[in-house]
Amino acid sequence: MTGQIPRLELEGISKAYPGVVANENVSLKIMPGEIHALLGENGAGKSTLVKFIYGVQTADSGSFKWEGQEFAVANPSMARKLGIGMVFQHFSLFDALSVEENIAIGISPELAGDNLGRQIRDVSRQYGLPLDPDRFVHTLSVGERQRIEVVRCLLQNPKLLIMDEPTSVLTPQEVAELFKTLRRLSEEGVSILYISHKLQEIKDLCHVATIMRMGRVVDSCIPSEESPLSMAEMMMGANLVSPEKPEKSVHGGPHLVVKNLSLQSDHQHGVDLKNINLEVCKGEVVGIAGIAGNGQIEVMEILTGEVLVEDPNSVLIGEICVGCEGPKFRRNAGLGFVPEERLGHGAVPEMSLWENAFLSGFQTMCLVSRGFIDVQESIKYALSIVSKFNVKTPGIKHAANSLSGGNLQKFIFGREILQNPEVIVALQPTWGVDAGSAAFIRQSLMDLAAKGAAVLVISQDLQELFEVSDRIAVIYEGTVSSPRPAEDITVEEIGLLMAGISSEVELGLTADA
């Protein structure tokens, strides 16, 4: 790439918000055909920088050069005309519109013609990202929503493709296929700015990495010459401590039990659950692996009480039958839960942090006095979450949507863990979270189990499941395999089961195995 004009060159980019400097004198250079990683903890300034590149936000100072020419990118439409496509971590989608309608909104009128549906099918099939153009977004899982963003970019034949956590919801096999596509795009001269907290991915895929910390560029490296640990330490500025499983004590009896559970999904294009049987014991972490859209959301809704079943004995917390009881009753029975979608489900975006803390903790933390909100106790509760879980925020009176993804996730986790649940269910607990925050969350889950809680983790991150789980099961098309000790099953076996390629009998996962 020597002698070439940079595809994109940023010099001296700075951006400040009330109470926080998001970017400070940031410079970045991306060459044609280069796969360039942007690394940093949540809150390091990565999202602000790429939003500037894409024209979503303006910088306070600094210059933007595109193929040697200085530009002021006023909006995303101008960025797309230059040839910049972006896949956001938090999706820019309208729930009430179809896949095709959402894609049409974000592309040029020439592309959004009568044959757009066919183009979506062709591109999604070509890149292994199956999508039905006619489905409404509100019926899709997080993984399927991410596919919309990726396909929308690929339809525009970009010169620079910005990808923010693109593999968070893919199986190892799907990641391999995506990497083939990205390498092919790179060979054709497309530049890729790649943001991921999966450092092995960075090492395997990227040519160059720029490391940010607290809004500044602090280092750069060639990922193939580094280890995931060394890159994590560059990001954090300190030696990274990996989660460690506490000393194993004897597990107690089953404390979360699902028995003979079958349910027809209420979601359009949802997945029906079929005869699910599952037990999670006190002091145990059970992991469930699966590709998005195989029934994870339906399972989560039933476990949390958002969807009720006819047989109260289908779900038990301890000896309490809760199948017909709602979320409030289940929290009183000792259940805590962390949903997949941080903004909108895990937290109300426009409400303050202390108000969001109150919403789930008002019963167990005694935050109501004589029928009124005890504001001072709610504030103390929120402050304790921020302090104990190292949540970076200007203050607890700031809205939930002012936090980075990882910091909001830590806040939601802290809110649940400080309530000392006897059972906790977490769906995609570290999706889009930096290495340090992910390690903290995983350690918190294992520590909670060590204190005697029953912990169920539903995730597509197989490394995560192997790291925290005592037993691992797989969900595929609404059925759940018999959990198997984590040390007795391989990543490859689970990946095949997630893709529906091998049967339980072939891999010895039946109850009699």
Distance (Å, whole) CA 221 – CA 201: 15
Backbone angles phi, psi at 297, to 5 degrees: -65, -40
pLDDT band at 180 (very low <50, low <70, confident <90, very high): confident
3-state secondary structure (DSSP) of residue 397: coil
In whole numbers, what is the pLDDT of the chain averaged over residues?
A: 87
Whether residue 360 has pLDDT greater than 80: yes
The pLDDT tens digits of the residues spanning 242-288 come to 667 776 555 788 999 999 999 988 876 678 999 999 999 999 999 99
Distance (Å, whole) CA 79 – CA 231: 30
Weakest mean pLDDT among 145-159, 185-199, 275-289, 308-322? 145-159
Mean pLDDT of the 224-245 span: 76
According to the model, what pLDDT value does residue 17 have? 80
The pLDDT tens digits of the residues spanning 373-403 come to 999 999 999 999 999 988 988 899 999 988 8
Q: Which two tokens stand for residue 164?
A: 């923010």
Which domains are seen in the chain, by residue range? 8-236 (3.40.50.300), 262-507 (3.40.50.300)
Residue 268: burial class (beta carbons within 10 Å; 0-12, 13-18, 19+): exposed
The pLDDT tens digits of the residues spanning 117-162 come to 999 999 888 777 788 999 999 888 766 787 888 888 888 888 999 9
Q: 265: which residues sit within 8 A by CB, 6+ positions away? A: 271, 272, 273, 295, 298
Beta strands in 40-181 (DSSP E): 61-66, 69-71, 84-87, 160-164
The end-to-end CA distance of the chain, in Å, is 55
Whether residue 64 has pLDDT greater than 70: yes
According to the model, what pLDDT value does residue 508 have? 41
According to the model, what pLDDT value does residue 314 have? 95
According to the model, what pLDDT value does residue 501 have? 64
Distance (Å, whole) CA 265 – CA 272: 5
∠ CA 383-387-389, nearest 5°, is 115
According to the model, what pLDDT value does residue 220 have? 95
∠ CA 448-450-455, nearest 5°, is 50
What 3 state SS string does 233-266 have?
Answer: HHHHCCCCCCCCCCCCCCCCCEEEEEEEEEECCC
According to the model, what pLDDT value does residue 394 have? 84
Tell me whether strands 254-263 and 273-281 are parallel, antiparallel or unpaired: antiparallel
C-alpha distances (whole Å) from 421 to each of 300, 338, 468 are 16, 12, 18
The pLDDT tens digits of the residues spanning 6-18 come to 999 999 999 988 7
According to the model, what pLDDT value does residue 177 have? 75
According to the model, what pLDDT value does residue 417 have? 92
| pTM reported for the whole predicted model | 0.65
DSSP 94: -
According to the model, what pLDDT value does residue 108 have? 79
